[in-house]
Amino acid sequence: MGTEVAYATSGDLHIAYQVLGAGPHLVFMPGFVSHLDLAWEEPHLARFLRGLASFSRLIWFDKLGTGLSDRVSGEPPVEGRIEDIHAVMDEAGSARATLLGVSEAASLCALFAYRHPERVTSMVLFAGFARALRGDDYPWGWTPEFFESYLAGLDSSWASGYGIERACPSVAGDQRYQSWFARYLRAAASPGAVRDLMRANAALDLRPILSEIRIPTLLLHRTNETWLPVELSRYLARHLPDARLVELPGVDHWPWLGDADAVLIEIEAFLTGNRRSRRDRPAWGPDALTAREREVAGLAVQGLSARDIADRLSIGERTAEAHIANAYVKLGINSRLDLVRRAAEFGV
């Protein structure tokens, strides 16, 4: 499965995207910021992306102003942000698709479905909201005071990734993840650009149009996350005519952290009608490896030959070679060099 980057054009601007997998078209719009290259260096996120691609033709992209896409100045206009989806779908050859949006991207996906219902088969909105800021008639989300405090702290926190514990407590003490996350943020956008993005997010208010979005929708939200509380998705469930809310246990805002399998199972069931159990092993990808294949692949990454691996595990040399060959097929690679380069991504 390749992870080559391509570009779609929206006017004079370029949007970086990737396509992988086969099956029903699934357009994934990540929340906040993203970086298509660095995403694959984080095993949790890489595993989540490959999980999506195991049952869909996954199309995902860096929104304008972030990652490998063109930078923009000032607050990005809402119209331009939803046209990102239009441009990427056209370039990727997707006439209609299910949209998957996380956090603020969930709102953008819903707005796209409102403007272009003929292009949308269905939607999956994870940790979504109709509006991010509280109001007199909307007692959920961020207070204006918290929001301004967060923006004011971006200059000092952005470079280090400080504050991840607010959104994803499960990796608060994980130094490896913290180091990757800091690099990911720095590469994805500058503090000033993020401040503009966040102000654009805070200006979104879909409440007046929710009743007109008649697209089959799966809402997913973890019940104990505090960055965007589950009440925001409960509000969406009450006001979107064809929506179903599944509340999942957990505390993390990003779907690839915590119990990511629960998220993938719900999305696959919604998209394909097939609900797999946790015991089901996919046909390819890192999760397709048997315990022995994973063990052999790990030893190969360490530089052991097939004969050395056979001696270490008390198996035949041909058996070791067969395990290595099977691992290559399931991981979509052709050489030991590929395996070593992408070992972290594969979790071996």
Q: How far apart are CA 161 and CA 177, in angstroms?
A: 10
Q: Looking at residue 2, what is its pLDDT?
A: 46
Give the number of other Cβ atoms within 10 Å of residue 248's Cβ: 19
* 3-class DSSP assignment, residue 305: coil
Residue 131, beta-bridge partner list: 205
Pairing of strands 13-21, 6-10: antiparallel
Q: What is the DSSP letter of 157?
A: H
Q: Is the dihedral of CA 262, 210, 77, 133 positive or negative?
A: negative
In the predicted structure, residue 103 carries a pLDDT above the cut 90: yes
Residue pLDDT, tens place only, 259-314: 999 999 999 999 999 888 776 666 667 888 888 889 999 999 999 999 999 999 99
Which residues in the chain belong to E strands, given as ranges?
A: 6-10, 13-21, 25-29, 57-61, 97-102, 120-126, 217-222, 243-248
pLDDT at 5 over 90: yes
The pLDDT of residue 283 is 64
Q: Is the dihedral of CA 237, 240, 242, 243 positive or negative?
A: negative
Specify the range with the lowest mean pLDDT, choosing from 145-149, 309-313, 327-331.
327-331
Give the per-residue pLDDT at 94. 97
Q: Which long-range contacts (CB under 8 A, 24 or more apart) does 317-325 make?
A: 320/296, 323/292, 323/293, 323/296, 323/297, 324/296, 324/297, 324/300
Question: Which residues, listed in sequence order, are joined to residue 26 by a DSSP beta bridge?
Answer: 58, 98
Helix and strand totals (H; E) in the chain? 16, 8
CA angle 166, 79, 66 (to 5 degrees): 45
* C-alpha to C-alpha distance for 161 and 142, rounded to whole angstroms: 20
Its pTM stands at 0.81
Share of the chain above pLDDT 70, in %: 95
What residues contact 336, with CB distance under 8 A and at least 6 apart?
Answer: 300, 324
Q: Which DSSP symbol is given to 167?
A: H
As a whole number of angstroms, the distance between CA 90 and CA 7 comes to: 11
Structural domains present in the chain = 6-272 (3.40.50.1820), 286-346 (1.10.10.10)
pLDDT at residue 82 greater than cutoff 90: no
